[in-house]
Amino acid sequence: MTHTLSSLQHPLVKHLVKLRLDSGYREEHQALILEGAKPIQEMKGDVQKLLYTPSYAPFASSFLGEKWEITDAILNKISGVISPEGVIAEVRMPPFVSIAQARRVLALDGINDPGNMGTLLRTALALGWDTVYFLPDSCDPFNEKAIRAARGAHFKLSLAKGTGDQLREWAQHHHVQSVVADIKGEGPGKLPIAERRLLVLGNEAHGASPAIRQFCQPITISMSGEMESLNVAVAGGILLYLLSNKGSL
């Protein structure tokens, strides 16, 4: 059944705006806002509410469940982008899982920029890494900017979270080759091929925490010229590629 919504003060509008802006509210409701026809189509089975402007009625016709036809004014209030597509959905938040059986883990230690975080998730998925582990002090992985930058990767990767001690215990128990990006490290090309790997990327300004450095081998990217370092998403993408055994230095 399709409902019509025209009031900016409707409780549903306030609910969706709060889902977009408030991490605690997202956690409480275990739900996210997803924008755009392509990402919503890929999440079809997990769409809880679909909102669309009249021009997207043909797109909405294939969806079952709760649907709302909305005005452009409501779309603009709910959306986090300047020129939104005419369709928005509330979808289930992907659950956090155990890393016990993970083979290729990217751990994010204090990543502050949601754009960097989303880009790293997207890159990890593209290069065959199966799990992303969020350490404390990183930004909210379900921030709207992270969701947009990841382009659906949140829903295709295994996501986990925990402390550095928990990550160390897992890595040591399962004999996981554990490395951390560090300007003072060696090139990843010197590492032996490993069945299970952990790559940790640290904070954009300060790098990884001391707890991570205690059990992870530092690796770096050799650079020529006058640049001392790279953006963490760029450096992470290069290291994810090299450590996926698709390339070598």
Same domain, 111 and 232: yes
Q: What is the CATH number of the domain that holds 12?
A: 3.30.1330.30
* Domain of residue 204, residue span: 104-243
Residue 180 resides in a domain: yes
Do 112 and 223 sit in the same domain of this protein? Answer: yes
Where does a domain end: 67, 92, 117? 92
pTM for the full predicted model: 0.92
Residue 97 lies in a domain: no
CB 194 within 8 A of CB 102: no
pLDDT value of residue 225: 65
Same domain, 132 and 215: yes
**Which value, in Å, is the radius of gyration of the alpha carbons in the chain?**
20
Return the pLDDT at 226: 64
From 92, 119, 152, give the residue that closes a domain. 92
209/24 Cα distance (integer angstroms) = 25
- Angle, helix 114-126 to helix 232-243, in steps of 10 degrees: 20
pLDDT at 227: 59
Specify which residues 53 forms β-bridges with.
none
Q: What is the pLDDT of residues 118-130, one digit of tens each?
A: 999 999 999 999 9
Q: Give the pLDDT of residue 64.
A: 86
Overall domain count for the chain: 2
23 and 127 part of one domain = no
Say if residue 185 is in the same domain as residue 215. yes
Are 125 and 215 part of one and the same domain?
Answer: yes
Pair 75, 109 in one domain:
no
Does 110 lie in the same domain as 88?
no
Closest of 139, 161, 141 to residue 150, by C-alpha: 141
Question: pLDDT at position 212, please?
Answer: 95
CATH number reported for the structural domain that contains residue 127 in this entry: 3.40.1280.10
Report in angstroms the alpha-carbon separations of 89 from 5, 27, 32, 40, 116.
14, 17, 8, 7, 24
Cα angle 90, 94, 98 (rounded to 5 degrees) comes to: 170
Q: Which residues of the chain have pLDDT under 70?
A: 225-228, 246-249
Last residue of a domain, one of 68, 92, 116: 92
